[in-house]
Amino acid sequence: MKNKQFVFILSAVVSISGFSQGMLLPLISFIFERDHVPSIVNGFHATSLYIGVFLTSLFLEGLLRKWGFKPLIITGGVLVCLSFLLFPVLQAMSIWFVLRLIVGVGDNMLHFATQSWLTHVTPRNQLGRALAYYGLSFSLGFMLGPILVPLVNIHESLPFLISAGLTFIAFSLVFTLKNSFPEPSEEKVSLSSTFINFRKVIHTSWIAFLFPMVFGVMESSLNSNFPVFALKHDLSLIDITWILPMFSLGTIIFQVPIGSLSDRMNRSHLMLLLTLIGAGIFLLGDFFIAHHYGMMAIFFIAGVFTGSLYSLGVTYMTELTPRYLLPAGNLMCGIVFSIGSIFGPIIGGTVISVTDNQFFFIAISVLILLTSVATYIFILNNRKFSEE
């Protein structure tokens, strides 16, 4: 297997997964807002995607060790593709909740398997750059996803059918790869051993898991709640489809340089700096919501400083975690991301409703700032431990 072909195929899978998520979240939010569904209900419905991610996380390590990387990716792709084909056919809120949940299951299989495969084969001194490219692929897809949303005005089925077709093409490429397996665990794989491994990686790497979690809150809230928030402030659907991709554009342009920088400097200090600046940028959002170009600039700069938090968190986790625990560590990254993503739309929808469409970005800023505080405490504790 040629390395370039391997990287290209995994990148294609991740980018199409990002494309589908980037399309699905704002699309259904727009459809529900158009149909006058309350903001809290809209936000709660968006959590189904991440509930699917969370529910499968407990079983994926065992499946990965039993099946290998390749079958897990293919299974996830099939689930996502079939779900997108069913959205236009089964049009009911309760059924869409289930379909979004299944998309979450499939996406988690895709991400966990590709991410674990990548961390399995990449030397540690190159992980920052490698995972930056991984995150770049997802961000590129996520940026382009919302562009499909206006097609709903032509025909409601179009965005779903296009996403299904692209997903099918991407996961079909995986058939050309040779299957492989992660390093064997010291214990027999079971649900109890998975929980034991979770406890071990939380003990060694707890600080690293905060970044995927806060990224999950931020990403899901921006893509699910911001369209509702913006429409209530008289921005148009076209405005929203231009503003949302700016976050991913900022991420894409700077993700590899920041990932490479993380290989050369103290990651704790870098994460502290990025979260502090990111919190400050998001703080401006509530003051510029009526300004189309101002919001585009804020989303772009926020993407520069916070768009890499997931991939940097995974890199940080890999640095702190023993190698045989990496599957559990990767899985925990997915779990905390899904937890953050479940609560993101609920928090955003509640803030929009309770504050009469105000303080949405201030809430995001506070959450990021809390992560900065935790990172600073971790740095101080490590310094104290080193001195002793």
58-95 pLDDT per residue, tens: 788 788 888 888 999 999 999 999 999 999 998 888 89
- 220 lies in some domain: yes
Please, are residues 196 and 61 in contact by the beta-carbon 8 Å criterion?
no
- 307 lies in some domain: yes
pLDDT classification of 1: cutoffs 50, 70, 90 = very low
Q: Write the DSSP symbol of residue 88.
A: T
Total domains present in the chain: 1
- 205 lies in some domain: yes
Whether 282 shows a pLDDT value over 70: the answer reads: yes
- 94 lies in some domain: yes
Q: Note the pTM of the prediction, 2 decimals.
A: 0.73
289-317 pLDDT per residue, tens: 888 899 999 999 999 999 889 888 988 88
State which of 78-82, 104-108, 378-382 shows the largest mean pLDDT. Answer: 78-82
Structural domain range at position 128: 3-175+189-387
- 183 lies in some domain: no
Residue-by-residue DSSP string for 338-388: HHHHHHHHHHHHHHHHHTTS--HHHHHHHHHHHHHHHHHHHHHHHHHHHH-
Which two structure tokens, joined as six digits, stand for 18?
Answer: 């990002």
Please, are residues 207 and 316 in contact by the beta-carbon 8 Å criterion?
yes
- 181 lies in some domain: no
Please, are residues 368 and 281 in contact by the beta-carbon 8 Å criterion?
no
User: Where residue 344 sits, what CATH number does that domain have?
Assistant: 1.20.1250.20
Give per-residue burial for 177-210: e unless 16+ CB within 10 Å, then b: beeeebeebeeebeeebbeebbebbeeebebbbb
- 180 lies in some domain: no
